[in-house]
Amino acid sequence: MKTGSAPRHQALIDALGAELTPVRRLLPPWRRALAWLAIVAVLAVALFMRFGAGTMLHRWSAAPDLGVAACGAVITAITAALASFVLAVPGRSIRWAWLPVPSALVWIGASGLGCLRAHIPGMPVLNLHGANDCLIFIVSFSLPLSGVMIWLLRRACPLRPVLTAVLVGLASAAASASLLEICHNFDAAASDLVMHAVAVALVVGLNALMGGRLLSRA
C-alpha cells in the first residue's frame, strides 16, 4: 500500500507544480526607490524649465536657512523613500524607519528658524492666500507621488503596511515641498510654516489611512 501511494503522491505534486507560474523577482529596494526618485527628478526639471532657478538661488543666498531647510527636505524624501522600500521586504529591521528622522528634524528646524530672522529685502512675505496655494501645491503633487510608490510597493507585501504607508507619505510630502522651492518666491513666515506643516500632516495621515489599507491587501 505504501509503495502504491508514493506514485500517486508524486503525480499530485507534479500536477500542482505544473500549474504554478514563475514569480518575477523584485528589484532591490534601492533600485525601486531610485525609479520613484527619477519621477520626482523629471518633475523638478519641468519646473526648472518653467520658472528657472534664479528666484530659488536668490532666496538661498539671502537666507541660508532656507537652503538648509530645502536640503533637509530633499534628503528626507530620499531617505524616507528608501526606508519604505526596505521595510516592505519581509525580515528587514524596523530600525530602517528611523532613517529619515535626522534630515526631517533639520528640515523642520531650519524652516522654523526662518520665521525668527530678519526679513529678506525685496522678497514678499507670504499672506494667507499664498499659504493656501502652498498647501494645494504640496497636496496636489504628493497624492500622485504616493500613488506611484504604493503601486511599486504592493508586490513586496509589506508586513507593516501602516508604517510603510507613513514613510510613503513623508517621502511624497518632502519631495513635493522640495519641488515647491523651485517656484516659491516668498520669504519664510509663520503662516507659510503652518501651511507646510498642515500639508505634510495631511499627506502622511491620508497615506496612513488609505495607503495602509491598500498595502495590507497586497
Q: Please tell me the predicted confidence (pLDDT) of residue 101.
A: 97
Instruction: Summarize pLDDT for 148-162 with one digit per residue, the tens.
Output: 999 988 877 788 889
Name residues of the chain where pLDDT drops below 70. 1-24, 114-131, 186-192, 217-218
What's this model's pTM, rounded to 2 decimal places?
A: 0.83
Cell numbers for 63: 537666507
Q: Please tell me the predicted confidence (pLDDT) of residue 137.
A: 92
Instruction: Residue 71: name the closest of 190, 218, 174, 202 by CA.
Output: 174
| DSSP code string of 8-32 | HHHHHHHHHHHT--PPPPPPPHHHH
> CA-CA distance, 69 to 108, in Å (whole number)?
7
- Residues 6 or more apart whose Cβ sits within 8 Å of residue 147: none
Q: Please tell me the predicted confidence (pLDDT) of residue 218.
A: 45
Distances in whole angstroms, Cα of residue 32 to Cα of each of 88, 106, 117, 185, 215: 11, 26, 40, 33, 16
Q: Please tell me the predicted confidence (pLDDT) of residue 2.
A: 47
Q: Please tell me the predicted confidence (pLDDT) of residue 197.
A: 87
Q: Please tell me the predicted confidence (pLDDT) of residue 115.
A: 63
